[in-house]
Amino acid sequence: MKNLTFANGDKLPIIGLGTWKSKPGEVKQAVFWAIEAGYRHLDCAAVYQNEKEVGEGLKAAIDAGLVKREELFITSKLWNNSHRYEDVQPALEKTLSDLGLEYVDLYLIHWPISFKRGVGFPKSRDDFYTYLDVPLTQTWEGMQAVKNAGLTRHIGVANFNQDKLREVIEIGGQIPELNQVEMHPFLPQKALVSFCIEHGILMTAYSPLGSPDSRNESHKNDPVLLKDPVVELIAKKHGATIGQILIAWSVARDISVIPKSVNQGRIKENLQSAKIKLDQSDMMELDDIGIEFRFIDGSFFTGAESPYKLSDLFE
């Protein structure tokens, strides 16, 4: 499978298994199936509240002789309630304990906004810190410290726009090595991708299928990426599923991609996307798809009680 390469030569397999919204009781088996199918890249986060079970799946696969730890690339993320310098290392140590690992390969600041310690999701203005209380520079210094301590091999960010990336880059020292953001043909993030390429920052695309499991009453009028006629035609041309084309689109752009599933057949199918070679006309058609839409809109962090604005999150 195609890899992306960090500055020190470490490899990131371009397709990984996402574990967001994978329920306890399902994710252990999904992780085992994924490793059995050939995945070597797994994307986790403390806030997903399933890292302990992900760790059980990792241990089962390693104990079964399917893989060695050093053959895996494991990502996790710092939640918004641990952004103070002194909170970064304990948060990562809890993740490592849950995953049953001595280190992760990549640790990301999950969002560029800060909650008070112990707050999972804020309910009032008092649950937030501001950038004056906890500047991103403080959090990034904590991230550099855990890398220097050997608890993670690489450090990066998620959901950072160009302004926030510049702020962190200007600190000096280690620049973010990767930025994970929502990305798919409805949201190609061209300006952000160009910025990251220019600064040597790798990228990972989440919600590559348009976050179909987020559809509820408030999202009933959202466009459906998995039913888009442009993608359907390209899928027919390649004898592939629509999901495979959407994953192959990121691969063709040299952007790692983390589709999530707990279905064994779908897990295998998603990995097979690496074999699909989209040609120039396919990429041009997807480029001209005619719909612009962000599924994870950040509104849950920027409501009336929040000191943050959407411009703190997105371009």
What confidence category does residue 216 fall into, taking pLDDT thresholds of 50, 70 and 90? low
pLDDT at 217: 59
Query: What value does the mean pLDDT take over residues 134-141?
Result: 96
Alpha-helix runs per DSSP H in 64-149: 85-99, 136-148
Segments making up each domain of the chain, as ranges: 3-312
Dist. CA 238–CA 241, nearest whole Å:
9
Query: What value does the mean pLDDT take over residues 242-252?
Result: 98
Phi, psi dihedral angles at 140 (to 5 degrees): -65, -35
pLDDT digits (tens, 9 = 90+) for 157-174: 999 999 999 999 999 899
Angular region, 67: left φ>0, alpha ψ -120 to 50, beta rest: beta
Mean pLDDT of the chain, nearest integer: 95
The binding site for substrate consists of 110
pLDDT digits (tens, 9 = 90+) for 251-287: 999 999 999 999 999 999 999 999 999 999 999 999 9
Four-way CATH pick for 3-312: 3.50.50.60, 3.20.20.100, 1.20.120.10, 3.40.50.2300: 3.20.20.100
The DSSP element (H or E) to which 54 belongs, if any, is helix 51-63
First to last CA, the chain: 32
Residue 214 has pLDDT above 70, yes or no: no
Phi, psi dihedral angles at 308 (to 5 degrees): -100, 155
pLDDT digits (tens, 9 = 90+) for 63-111: 999 999 999 999 999 999 999 999 999 999 999 999 999 999 999 999 9
pTM comes to 0.96
pLDDT digits (tens, 9 = 90+) for 38-65: 999 999 999 999 999 999 999 999 999 9
Dist. CA 309–CA 301, nearest whole Å:
8
Dist. CA 266–CA 129, nearest whole Å:
40
> 27: Cβ–Cβ under 8 A, 6 or more apart, which residues?
19, 50, 53, 54, 57, 262
pLDDT at 85: 98
Catalytic residue, candidates 48, 107, 129, 206? 48
What confidence category does residue 222 fall into, taking pLDDT thresholds of 50, 70 and 90? confident
48 given a catalytic annotation: yes
The binding site consists of 110
